[in-house]
Amino acid sequence: IIIFVKFFMKEKISVRKILLFSMLIFLAFLAIFIMAFLFASSPDEEIIYKKSFNLIGPQTILKTDNAKKLNANMVSVISFAFPENNRIQIQKPIKTFLGLQIQSAYSQRLGVELRGGTAGGSGVTDFQEFRPSMLEYIKELAILAESKKVSQFTIWGEIDNLLYKSPEQITPFSQELLQTASQHYSGKIGIGICSITDTSFYNFSGYDYMIVSLYPIETTVEEYFSENSTSYGINSNLQRQLKKVEEIKNKSNIDTIYVGETGVYDTDDKSTRDQFKTLILTHEEEAEFYKKFFQKTENFFNGYSLWLHDQTLGVGEDDAEKVVEEFYVQNQTSKNPHNNNT
């Protein structure tokens, strides 16, 4: 405005003044952006069908716009604190980062699932030593979840992976964790599972939802999707996985279940194949995998959380990403045939 007025008043303006004024304009817009980012709030509308992407690590803090472009309605922000020497804690910088990642999602008008962790790392070797720090860890995350008004708080993404050396503790400790979380967070609380061996160890009564990791391990695409599988491995066949999940769901009296993780390696991803024995597919085969996966599971689950294409086991670019984008763009309500309330 000043430049405009002075131009028509035929006053000379120094280059220095123009640069100073431009800098002030830039700083003003930057301040507006930062204020909008910091004060963005959780979307008001209730998310019925979950269309999410998992975000873990500092490199994903600005990836919420990618999720939005792929028609997600929320993101799953995962804490990257893992147990070491039978202890777990959340450092202040990590809490700050998680808060910023949540605000980034809100600035895109996305809902948020805050997840306490994913894989169990080396596992817990001494449960009694681990227990107090885990309860404190969940308390801190529950307080963060409440302060940020997230849509969902998942205590741990794969509780059976975390406690695989103490499976008898899965049910009682999950109940203890739920009690701790409920004292500090008033929203929906969930728990996650992965490789299910003996379903007698699992009962999540009182939880609002479950998430499930469904990876095709040591199998082929044909064997994984087969209706009449002859393979032995628990994670080598999807129908076998779903049967186990349904058994736990019914026993726990939980209506809402989500896919918390799935994925395959594409032929360009060679960095971490040795850590995970899942399928290695071409881009075209990966796209077909997701098509079949959605077809076989969309009537069983209330939604999905997938990995973005630039994350390990993420949805490959181009073909596979288009499959997910087209599936997510559908205006779906809950299709879960087991849920009589939807």
10 Å CB burial of residue 193 (0-12, 13-18, 19+) is: buried
Distance between CA 267 and CA 284 in Å, rounded?
10
Distance between CA 158 and CA 117 in Å, rounded?
8
Phi first, then psi: give them for residue 38, nearest 5 degrees. Answer: -70, -30
Mapping DSSP to helix (H, G, I), strand (E, B) and coil, where does residue 82 land? Answer: coil
Mapping DSSP to helix (H, G, I), strand (E, B) and coil, where does residue 159 land? Answer: helix
Structure confidence by residue, pLDDT tens digits, 266-321 = 766 555 555 567 888 888 999 999 999 999 999 999 999 999 887 778 897 789 99
CB 161 within 8 A of CB 120: yes
Segments of 83-187 assigned E as strands = 111-115, 152-154
Distance between CA 78 and CA 15 in Å, rounded?
49
What is the predicted pLDDT for the residue at 1? Answer: 57
What is the predicted pLDDT for the residue at 336? Answer: 45
What is the predicted pLDDT for the residue at 35? Answer: 54
What is the predicted pLDDT for the residue at 260? Answer: 96
Residue 188 CB contacts under 8 Å (≥ 6 apart), including other chains: 151, 152, 153, 208, 209
What is the predicted pLDDT for the residue at 342? Answer: 39
Low-confidence ranges of the chain (pLDDT < 50): 334-342
What is the predicted pLDDT for the residue at 136? Answer: 96
